[in-house]
C-alpha cells in the first residue's frame, strides 16, 4: 500500500505514560475531540483509530490487544492472536521494520 502523508490542519495532543513506562502522545481532533491516533515516543509508527478512517473496511485486524481489560460484551475474533496488555517488544520491533 502506498504511503501518503497525514494531512491535518491542527491536532491537540495529550501525553500519558503507557504501560511500558514510555511516553505516549494521543492525538485528538481540535473541533470534536475524537481520538485519532497514538504515537509512542520510541516507535516509528502511529496507532490509528479505525473509527477515524473514511473507509476502515480496507484494513483488517491482525491481533487483539489489551484483552485482559476487554469488556465481557466485546467480540474478540477467536482466530486472532491475543495480547493481554501492551504489545511486547518483539512485536513492536517487527512493526517498526515494516
Strand partners for 23: 17
Quickly tell me which residue has 497525514 as its cell.
6
- CA proximity to 38, closest of 53, 52, 23, 24: 24
- Whether the Cβ atoms of residue 46 and residue 39 lie closer than 8 Å to each other: yes
Task: Determine, yes or no, domain membership for 4.
Answer: no
Threshold 0.85, pTM exceeds = no
Task: Determine, yes or no, domain membership for 28.
Answer: yes
Task: Determine, yes or no, domain membership for 43.
Answer: yes
pLDDT in tens, 49-98: 888 888 888 888 888 989 999 999 999 999 999 999 887 777 777 776 76
What is the C-alpha separation between 61 and 92, in angstroms, rounded? 16
What is the C-alpha separation between 15 and 49, in angstroms, rounded? 16
Task: Determine, yes or no, domain membership for 75.
Answer: yes
Amino acid at each position: 500500500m502506498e504511503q501518503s502523508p497525514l494531512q491535518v490542519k491542527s491536532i491537540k495532543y495529550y501525553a500519558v505514560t503507557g504501560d511500558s513506562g514510555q511516553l505516549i502522545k494521543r492525538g485528538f481532533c481540535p473541533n470534536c475531540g475524537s481520538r485519532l491516533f497514538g504515537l509512542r515516543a520510541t516507535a516509528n509508527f502511529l496507532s490509528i483509530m479505525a473509527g477515524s478512517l473514511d473507509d476502515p473496511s480496507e484494513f483488517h485486524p491482525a491481533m487483539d490487544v489489551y484483552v485482559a481489560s476487554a469488556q465481557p460484551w466485546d467480540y474478540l475474533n477467536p482466530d486472532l492472536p491475543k495480547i493481554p496488555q501492551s504489545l511486547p517488544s518483539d512485536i513492536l520491533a517487527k512493526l517498526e521494520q515494516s
